Structures are given as structure tokens and as C-alpha cells.
Structure 1
Amino acid sequence: MTEYWVSQGNKWCDFCKIYISNNPSSIRNHELGTRHKDNVAKRLAAMRKENTAKEKEHKETAQALEQIEAKAQRSYQKDKAKLEEAREWHELDAEEWDFESSSGYYYHKTNGFYYDPKSGFYYSDAIGKWVTQEEAYASPHFASTTKKASSTSQSNKGNKPHNGPLPGRVVTTSLNPTRNVKAAPSSLSLGKRKRPGEKPKVVSEEEKSALKAREAARKRVQEREKSLLGLYSKPY
């Protein structure tokens, strides 16, 4: 039986980026060499450095998220405290609210706020628009003026709110009013328009005869055209 020689091929070293003979002795000699060991050490150092950078990035991201959450929590607690404080002051100065039957709004004698019980919105000249209850309570104009006047609210019980115009635009007339104006009828519907102070025209005898002749001529023309238009049929 004839034996054939078969090539063992080459083996690729990923650390050194070279090909070596694919046999145990060549592979062992290459792995024990200084070049291969240095390349392996460099690869491991690069991997450790990359992992360290990733861990640092993850830590920085987590710290940033924690700072954002802490800041949002502090802001929430601050707003909540302001809202609770404003609600407490609102409950304490309930006597300061007066109902205006003409407008249907409640008016606060101390801070000048209006309250609409139908919509639940508040209005103030300092804000310049209608806002929700939370926005009104969180407004510094609502709380500060209430605090300043809390000590003097008992002495000002007899004061009434001003009777000035209500906030916002008030429409007192219809948008499309119907005109109810009596005027003289037009002269066109009554007849020929006459100038004021105009005297009747005097017609002479010659003009009268000329008008009669023109009217007679017009009638003769109409009589001649009747047969042409087929309005009258001749008896046969």
C-alpha cells in the first residue's frame, strides 16, 4: 500500500499576528518565547484598561442619575412644602373671602385674588391670567400677602372689596346687535325722485301736440308688428 505525504498546515497566533507550524513542538516553542509572552501581557493589560474605563463610565452615569433624582426630590419637597403652607394659610384666612353676587366670583380682601367656583381657577392682577389652584397657592403673591395681613385681618373685617371692573373682558352687548333705527322710506320706492323746491314744468301747446303725435306713431308701429310676430292669426 502506498503512503502519501499530507501537509499539516500552519497555525495562526492571534497575539503575535503570525503563522507558525501546526505541530506540538513548534506551538510549544512559540508560546514559551519572549515575543509571545510580551504580546499576551499587552493584550491582557489592554483588556483590563478597557474594563476599567467601562466601569468608570457606568459609575459616572449612575452618579449623574442619582444627582438628578436627588435634585428633583428636593425640588418636589420644596414645592410640596410651599403648597402645604399655602393651603394652611388659605384655611386660616377663610374669612377673608367675600362672594360678589354681581360677578359670581369670590374676592380675597388681602391679596386681591379672585376665585371662580364654577371652573376652580384663580385670578390676580400680579399674575395677569387665570391659573389652577396649585399654581395660585404656589405663587409668592398669594402666600406673602396672606402672611403679612394675617395679623391685621381681625381689624379689617369691615373692609369690603373694591367695586371696580371685574378681571377680564366683559361683553355687555350682543356681538351682532339688530339695528332698530326708524328712517324715512326711500324716494325710489315711492316714485320718481324729486328735488327739493323743484317747480312743476310748464308744457306748451306745441309740446303737447308733438307728444300726442309721437304716441300715435308708436301705436301704429305696434299694430303693424303684431302680424309679423304671429300674435294674431287671420281667419281663412
Structure 2
Amino acid sequence: MTEVSTITVCVLNDPVIYVYWVSQGKKWCDLCKIFINNSPSSIRNHELGQRHKENVTKRIANMRDEKVAKDKEKKETARVLSQIEEKASRSYQKDISTFQNATSVGAPTSSEGTEWEHDTSSGYYYCKSNGCYYDPNSGFYYTDALGKWVTQEEAFAAAAKHSSGPIQKKPTFATPSLTSKSQNDSKAQRSTVNPTRSVNKPSSLAINKRKRPDNKSKVISEEEAAALKAREAARKRVEEREKSSLGLYKHWYVTTHYFLFEKLVKSMSWKSGAGNERLFK
């Protein structure tokens, strides 16, 4: 479809009429995915059609479903975040109360009447009767039977099973700093993973190294043996072929250079040429 357009141009007060053809563009319907004529009547007729109305209804339903899904996802995310925050808050309050109780009490108390002494070098409390350590900052206990920091009940139960009598010797160790200190303090106190391990004790990683089994002759098939034999023969052929180029098995390199040097000396006009010729006789 084309239409005729006219433009009137005034040149020297004389009207001049130019007539030319203009191509009419198409209009794209995003719902129906088709092109229609770009005229009011064509657009109106297309919008009143049954196909276009069904596409509009379908698009509105899809938009409504997407909005409901987004709202549901937002509510679920908010619920999960609230649960995480609530759990973290409870854990934080529990840690704060434990820390405050441990700091206020200082040395631990026990119903068994154990005596605790404070070690100034490590900052922990030590019990001679069961050999447990107590950290007032964290509120945990350490025993040789478990080898890790645990609660009071676990430490005392493990210590009772580990040894029935009192511990005669207290191991010395460097305690890790639990709070932020200066650089000099951190250099003075070197922390170790196991506090009861002696300084000069060899590491368990360096003992009982795994030994590799002896290399035994494997049983190979006839095809594999033939392939190995052919590869060895090819290697020898290549070696024989490259011997001459390497210059390691023949003296042609030295002989040729000696001959060239002799020829050069004879060709030079030296005053004592007769004496030099004797060198090559």
C-alpha cells in the first residue's frame, strides 16, 4: 500500500508543487508477533480481533502469575533470613552469658573439691588431681585423654577414665593468645596445637613412612612384548643413524679441522716458514 504525498514549496513567491511517492511502513504487534498496516483502521480492526484478545488475556495471566511467584519468593526469603538472624542472636547471647560467667567466676569450681592453680606463663588454670586445664576466657577445659578443648563434664569424665591417680608432672606449653595483643607479645608466646606435646618430640609424620613394595616383574602379553621389542629396535636404528651427525664416535671433525689449520699455516708467508713446516711432517 502506498499513498501520494504533496509538498508545496514557495520559491521567489511562486508556489511550486512537488509530487512524490511514499512507502507506507508496517506496524509490529508484540502480542501476536505479526506485522499489520500502519493505519488507524487496520490497527483498530486487529485489536478487535479474537486472536489479539486471546493473546492479551494470556499476557495478563502470565504477568499475574509472575507477580505472585515473586511475592512468594520474597516472603520465603524474608522468613529464612529472620530464622537465621534469630538463631544467630540466640547463639550470640549464649556466648556472651558464658563469657561473662567465666570471667566473673575466674577459677572454676567443682563438686569434687579439686584445687586449681593459676599458671602465669600460659594464663590457664591447672588441676593436679585430674590434669585438666581451664581457660577463663572461653570457659572450656582441656585434658590429655581427649586432646582438645571441651566442656567441663566431658573433660572430667575423660580424665577420670584416663587415669585413676593424681598426675605427678604438669606439662608446660605456650598458650595461644585469645585476644588481640601487641606484636611483641605474639612473638614472645608461640602457640602450639597440642599443649602437652614436648618441644623436642619428633613429629608423627616423620615416623613410619610408607614403604613402596618391591618392583616385581609384571606378566606381559605377547603383543606387548612384541611392541617393546620393536620400540627397542627402532631406538637402536635411530641411535646408529645419528652417530655420524653427533661427532662422538668418529674423528672426522678433529681431522678435518687439523687439515685446515695446516693448510692455513703453510699458506701464510712467515719468515720462519721452514721451521713451521716441520711441525706437520
Give me the TM-score of the superposition, normalised by structure 2.
Answer: 0.40
Higher relative contact order (CA 8 A, sep 6+): 1
Higher-Rg member (1/2): 1
Higher strand proportion, which one? 2
